[in-house]
Amino acid sequence: MTNCVGYNQLPNEEEFKHLYSVKSQQELAEYYGCNKARIRKWIKIFDLKLRTKGGGNNRKYQIDESQLRELIEKKYSNQDILKILNIGCNSSLNKWLKKYNIKRDYRTNEYKKYCRKVRLLTEKEYSKYSNVINPKNLPRTLCGVDGGYQLDHIVGVSECFYSGVPVEDCSSFENLQLIPWKENLNKRVFHKNNKDNK
């Protein structure tokens, strides 16, 4: 942390006095990466008036609920929200989130979870049955490599998902084939266009 001050050192006096006028002790502790005991020690050294317990810096945050909800829904990070709303520290932000009962949605949609599981099981199936799927040991490559092939699901992943096909069946070696990368690319484009036209 760039604001850290060595154990036997003092922060810049002018900066500290300014920050003390606009920040709470907790915020100062987070800013300098230390505990509040050191902050109180510096307050005494710089001959500043110690605020009464719970007095903070007498600022009254008033955060608009709809604005905070919008920022959370748009996936802004806590650090970005602190800057946008001029909130001093994470603990203050968390209090407002709790007050308005706002929670982040960390869920991955079901289709993405399905695809992730299919990818993992597909590679396991290929490792186990590569001699069946790829008896000629053709090279698996990325798009654009001459003579390259890619592993393909005969019945596409999206079709399996929307048809309610279990992950295990979609990933089964019986649903896998090796095809030239151009053919696989054209197949993906075709399915995407069909989906967009629905």
pLDDT in tens, the chain (198 residues): 456 777 778 999 988 888 888 788 888 888 888 888 898 899 999 998 876 554 444 455 578 888 888 888 877 777 778 777 777 666 778 888 888 899 877 666 888 889 999 999 999 999 999 999 999 999 998 877 889 999 999 999 989 998 999 999 999 999 999 999 888 877 765 555 555 554
Distance CA 137, CA 192 (A): 30
Q: Report CA 10 to chain centroid distance, whole Å.
A: 36
Question: Which pTM value belongs to this model?
Answer: 0.45
At residue 68, φ and ψ (nearest 5 deg) are -65, -40
Q: Domain-by-domain residue ranges, the chain?
A: 1-58, 60-105, 110-197
Distance CA 29, CA 9 (A): 15
> Between the CA of residue 89 and those of 25, 178, 194, what are the distances in Å?
11, 54, 48
- Strands (E) across 60-189 are located at 149-153, 176-180
- Strands (E) across the chain are located at 149-153, 176-180
